Structure 1
């Protein structure tokens, strides 16, 4: 007969003892002998520690995390005893007499730090599932229409300008026929793949510099909701927020267009990086247009590019957004691989802290590209089909310059384009330089567009930054654990 928990906790002598603690609750794991967990064998559903479990120490504390999923948790120093106990063949059934311990083990299972012994390998499963998504077309989540590669601003960090300069792409305006055919092909792809949601984004450059065509296009997309009632069709525009007159304001409201506006902080921070072509700052006009959009109850998201110049002002910026009435904020880091190690650390920590602060203030804040899984770092690796004014289709509106196909056959690209498969397969597990890395599914090899720009190869990893990035990701995991 198994001894009661109190008796187990009182045992002493040579018996190996286990103690694991977490910041989730008080006395998460009690002191119990390993033998009490592992004495039975042969039962089904044996547990094991994930092969992707890693550990590190930061600030005098010990943490466990998953190298693909993150999921950090704080533990006490003698956690290796716990790992040994789990790997000895314990089952959930054995833990029924220790309900508090079982509850915490179940939490570790939920975090994927502990798993059942018959579960398939996470990365191998991800590669198989990715191939299936490519074949069916279900990997595509959005159509991006680059309606104007022209812009009235000259932001210092703009990737669009960078890639255009390198590849000698002429700026231009998309015509309605190309835009309409692209939309029709995309809707065809959505229906054929069995998906129920279609998302269309009007991008640039500055989309409102081609507003005569864009207005006609937005009306057409809006009309498709009546033609395809079985689909949820969404459309939105990404803009610098400087060209929004009364006509545009009315159309955005009437046609239910979501708006993403780039704004990098309060006036001093924003105008350092985001200015008109003549050098004049943009904050004042964007602020006025934001207030107009909110007054009309138009869905608005603020997209903020974070670098060392504005990272530490995020809380003040959040307070400003709360006062205006903004509910959504996306923070993304700019060219972090160019930073020194201490800059990466400080900027990363400021972003994480800023997201947490924004959420406390009632803003739906997200870091980077949002809630993507461990396989890919951004939607530009197969999740997007981006049509340029010429009708050429690419994977990313800002970076990767591998042509996938043409607008008039867009619906067939996922199944027939080898270039699409090549780009879409750049996921965790398919990057040889990254296999086994302590942050394999958290870094994911960095930005593919940046790799192409630097090395002309989206699969090539910038190894010079790897060690620094590993250290900083672990620091950030420790910060996240303190917030959870």
Structure 2
């Protein structure tokens, strides 16, 4: 059961989130319709394809959509020439190769975040570091069957991974040696709470071109309330002191801020502007939907407030992009890219497919969140991926097997949501996700006309 949480620093709700909740309601699984100042727009769910339509076509489709008349919708799509064979069928992905690993190099942490999926860093077990041999075996697994020109990613997480920096450095060196020898593109990433970063880390991370994500949950007062040391004192001042050299040095390295949104830190626009001004390469927000203790989980009311704030951030992104200014709001940047590409997929991420988490003792998990959780157990680095477990996972987690996803227009954009959150808590955020996607579709329609060059498009004549 969700534990009660006091809503602090929450801006008042307006009608914008409720407008989006209403307009994004899942009336039909095959289409979604929306209007902007630029006209009338049709999203064909199959293939995530966007079209501009005239008012008469829009009204006809809308009548069928609101009546939930799928037969009429299919006839109209055929008449418009946009009906295609399914882009995604019911078949799960079969035995995909390993292309990304996240190593829990330190299952320990010095912070006491009550909502942490890793149960304050130790994943519910004894605090421990990953032995060097396990890390090197993980690197071998990642690069074992990779062909020339392919791309792989090696990530380091915890707990707090910098408790085991010597293993991070040795594993990085070995991975780069193997990648160079095999003609493979290797990307490296590190997620840290920032409290242990030092000048040597800054040199190392810049030299090797790491994507560094720093967990920051707001400005000082808010962050210290949510991300205090286990002794109770705040961590913000130390984090910012430690991160400053990275922010000033990032050339090959990119340093981003990730904010976990709870009922106690909903002032997102203020947070975003402050972190952008500090020099972070990007800033992103993710709602806390599943906490081991139930504390600080977001409910519908808090998600409504979050949507208000996300849209406020999105509108500032629109304003600045049109003005030719950079505004690295990563949720918006990613949404614009995915909508433009027409992204459609049966899974929300690579978890249990090409991406796995590795525990300190070498067990493979469906992702970093499933470390130590039998639900997502997938073998170990010594013997490789358990293909039987993987096949069952990919069958059960396919979006066509999820409810109420099968009847939702957003299913190939959301793809059913984070596996870990859904298994732990269900789907409390569907209205929020659809509302955010609806706004992003509106924004894309505006920006693709105002800044076609941003998307690599040619401006319309006249």
Inter-partner Cα distance in structure 1 for 2:300 and 2:49: 21
- The CA distance in 2 between the partners of 1:73 and 1:353, in whole Å, is 26
CA contact (8 A) 1:355 1:366 kept: no
The answer to whether the 8 Å contact 2:103/2:156 transfers is: yes
Question: Which residues of 2 match residues 346-365 of structure 1 at below 5 A?
Answer: 346-358=305-317, 360=320, 362-365=326-329
Q: How many Å apart are 1:358 and its aligned residue?
A: 4.9
Indicate the larger mover: 392-401 or 148-157: 392-401
Q: 2:301 aligns with which of 342, 347, 360?
A: 342
User: How many Å apart are 1:199 and its aligned residue?
Assistant: 0.8
Q: Which residue is equivalent to 1:483?
A: 443
- Alignment partner, residue 310 of structure 1: 265
The 1:75/1:254 distance shift into structure 2, 3 A limit, reads same
Q: How many angstroms does 1:245 deviate by?
A: 1.6
Q: Distance in 1 between matches of 2:289 and 2:29?
A: 32
Residue 431 (str. 1) matches residue 407 (str. 2): no
Q: Give the structure-2-normalised TM-score.
A: 0.72
Separation of aligned partners in 1, 2:171 and 2:177: 10
After superposition, the Cα gap between the structure-2 partners of 1:227 and 1:63, relative to the gap in structure 1 and judged at 3 Å, is: closer
Distance 1:163 1:276, change over 3 A: closer
Q: Within 2, Cα distance between the matches of 1:263 and 1:403?
A: 29
Partner of 1:152, secondary structure, is coil
Cα displacement string for residues 398-449 of structure 1 (whole angstroms, at most 9, x for unaligned residues): 1364211110233xx2xx5111122233121122553223443345443321
SS of aligned partner of 1:122: coil
The equivalent position to 2:275 in structure 1, one of 314, 321, 336, is: 321
Distance 2:121 2:423 in 1: 10
- Residues 194 and 239, structure 2, Cα contact 8 Å, conserved in 1: yes
Residue matched to 2:380: 406
1:53 pairs with 2:43: no
Q: Which runs of 5+ in 2 are unaligned?
A: 1-27, 63-71, 292-296, 445-462
> Which stretch shifts more, 253-262 or 169-178?
253-262
Q: In 1, Cα distance between the equivalents of 2:126 and 2:255?
A: 30
Distance 1:234 1:335, change over 3 A: same
SS in structure 2 at match of 1:214: helix
Report the alpha carbon displacement of residue 67 of structure 1 after superposing the two structures with TM.
5.2
Aligned partner of 2:3 in structure 1 is none
The CA distance in 2 between the partners of 1:329 and 1:147, in whole Å, is 25
Identify which of 138, 144, 155 aligns with 2:102: 144
What is the aligned length? 382
Post-superposition offset of 1:201: 0.3
* One of 111, 125, 128 as aligned partner of 1:172: 128
Normalising to structure 1: TM-score of the pair?
0.69
Q: Give 1:421's aligned residue.
A: 391
Change (3 A) 1:346 1:374: farther
- Compute the displacement of 1:74 (Å): 9.6
- Residues 221 and 150 of structure 1, relative CA distance in 2, 3 Å threshold: same
- 1:334-389 Cα distance to aligned partner (Å, 9 max, x none): 11895443322221232243245357351433339975744222332424111111
What corresponds to 2:25 in structure 1? none
| Native 8 Å contact 1:70 1:442 kept in 2 | no
Conserved 8 A contact 2:352-2:366: yes
Say whether residues 1:186 and 2:131 are aligned partners: no
Name the CA distance, whole Å, in 2 between partners of 1:408 and 1:238.
Answer: 25
Aligned pairs for 1:242-321 (under 5 A) are 242-297=195-250, 298-312=253-267, 314-321=268-275
The question of whether the paired residues in 2 share the 8 Å contact of 1:72 and 1:480 is answered with: no
Return the match for 1:234 from 163, 180, 187: 187
CA distance in 1, matches of 2:100, 2:180: 20
Work out whether residues 306 and 331 of structure 1, in 8 Å CA contact, stay in contact via their aligned partners in 2. Answer: yes
Give distance in 2, aligned partners of 1:160 and 1:53: 39
What SS class does the counterpart of residue 404 from structure 1 fall into? strand
Q: Secondary structure at the match of 1:143?
A: strand
1:145-188 superposed Cα distances (whole Å, 9 cap, x missing partner) = 110111111112110117966xx533311011111111011101
Partner of 1:156: 114
CA contact (8 A) 1:307 1:334 kept: yes
Give the CA deviation at 1:77.
8.5
- C-alpha distance in 2 between matches for 1:64 and 1:250: 49
CA RMSD, 1 decimal:
3.5
Q: Give the conservation status (yes or no) of the 8 Å contact 2:188–2:211.
A: yes
2:175 to 221, 241, 260: 221
Structure 1 Cα separation of the partners of residues 40 and 298 of structure 2:
27
Q: Pick one of 368, 373, 387 that aligns with 2:358.
A: 387
Inter-partner Cα distance in structure 1 for 2:207 and 2:407: 51
CA contact (8 A) 2:117 2:290 kept: no
Which one has the largest radius of gyration?
A: 1
- TM-superposed deviation, 1:220: 2.2
Cross-structure match for 2:451:
none
Per the alignment, do residues 408 and 340 of structure 1 end up closer, same or farther by CA in structure 2, a change over 3 Å counting?
Answer: closer
Structure 1 residues 77 and 141, CA, compared in 2 at 3 Å: closer, same or farther? farther
